[in-house]
Amino acid sequence: MTAIFSSDDLFDLSGFEHRDLFAGGRPAWEALKVLEAWIRERIRPGVRGVVEPGAFVDKDVEVREGARVEAGAYVRGPTIIGEGTEVRNGAYVRGNVLTGRKCVIGHTTEAKTAIFLDEAKAAHFAYVGDSILGGHVNLGAGTKLANLKVVEGGVTVTGADGKSIATGPRKLGAILGDHVELGCNSVTAPGTVIGKRSIVYALASVRGTIPADTIVSWKPALQMRPRRER
């Protein structure tokens, strides 16, 4: 198992409240398989932050101190919204979502079966399905973390040797290490793993395993010609 799949290699978990979710040296995606049970064992349903009028918050949701759910957001449980986290207008939280401190689930962003480490942000028009966002990750507007394998069979990830490693389920989105940044309208294929501090430029379509400290870009040629007189 290549080191980039280890939670310890992808994330600094020292200050993360829910770090035991990643215990045991397993590949990071294994945390998603036990996420619902983890949340249900630890959740204290109720609102200790702010839920604005016009938001829907399910009965098995915990909104912690300093968190805010804006009008027009829909939050289904089981979900824990961490301290200082913002769930903005139009967000759709479909359940099995765990956020750390000061995260953002933004306008028209959809999240399900997802883990946001502290200060991870998906602020505008994003899809975060069956995925993990490391600390201080930022998703540009329109980013999509695709999670469903089109053909039958479980999602695989690509090892350093280029061979496929089975993960089990047919649904697995992206695993993004700490401080990863994805540009606007970028897309990751199911089973994409991106190492710490890497940057993906706008419009790029990414798959496989990207090492730490890598820049990924896709720059098609811009076509220009003189405008004809009407």
Flag whether pLDDT at 49 surpasses 70.
yes
Domains of the chain in sequence order: 3-216 (2.160.10.10)
Q: Which residues does residue 114 pair with via DSSP β-bridges, in sequence order?
A: 97, 131
Flag whether pLDDT at 2 surpasses 80.
no
Average pLDDT over every residue of 141-146 = 98
C-alpha distances out from residue 165 to 132, 154, 176, 190, Å? 18, 10, 17, 13
Give the separation between CA 189 and CA 115, rounded to whole angstroms. 18
Which residues, 6 or more positions from 188, have their beta carbon under 8 angstroms from its beta carbon?
144, 145, 146, 173, 174, 182, 194, 200, 205, 206, 207
Flag whether pLDDT at 151 surpasses 90.
no
Per-residue pLDDT tens over the stretch 7-38: 999 999 999 999 999 988 899 999 999 999 99
What's the predicted TM-score (pTM) here? 0.94
Per the CB < 8 A criterion, the answer to whether 194 and 177 are in contact is yes
Give the separation between CA 169 and CA 190, rounded to whole angstroms. 11
pLDDT of residue 1: 39
Confidence of residue 205 (pLDDT cuts 50, 70, 90): very high
C-alpha distances out from residue 95 to 77, 79, 219, Å? 5, 6, 36
pLDDT of residue 122: 98
Q: Pull the structure tokens for residue 114.
A: 């997802």
Flag whether pLDDT at 3 surpasses 70.
no
pLDDT of residue 183: 97
Give the separation between CA 71 and CA 54, rounded to whole angstroms. 5
